[in-house]
Amino acid sequence: MLEVLLHSYEEFLGRKPDSAPNIAIVDLGDRPTQSEFELFKEFFERQGYPTLICTPEELEFVDGRLRVSDFQIDIVYKRFTS
C-alpha cells in the first residue's frame, strides 16, 4: 500500500518529493477497522513517513494546505467502511 501511495504522489508532483511526505489515514470515527489503521500507521512511520489517523471533520484547509492542527498533509489514504 505504501508503495502505491508514494508512486501516486510522485506522479502528482511530476518528480520525486524533496522530503518524506506526511500521510493522513482518513476514515469515519469509531470503526471496527481502527486496529487495521493503527498497523498501517506504525508501518508507514517505521518506513520514515509521518502519519496520523483522523476523521473528515478534523481536516481543514489553511493557506492552501490540507492539515489537521499543525500536521500538514501531503497524501490522503481515504478509508470509508460501513
CA distances from 9 to 6, 15, 56, 70, 71 (A): 5, 9, 20, 21, 18
Tally of domains within the chain: 1
Residue-level pLDDT at 27: 86
Asked if pLDDT for residue 6 goes beyond 90, the answer is yes
Over residues 28-69, the pLDDT tens digits come to 877 666 788 899 999 999 999 999 999 999 999 999 999 999
Output the pTM of the full model: 0.89
Residue-level pLDDT at 32: 66
Range of the domain at 31: 2-78
CATH number reported for the structural domain that contains residue 66 in this entry = 3.40.50.1760
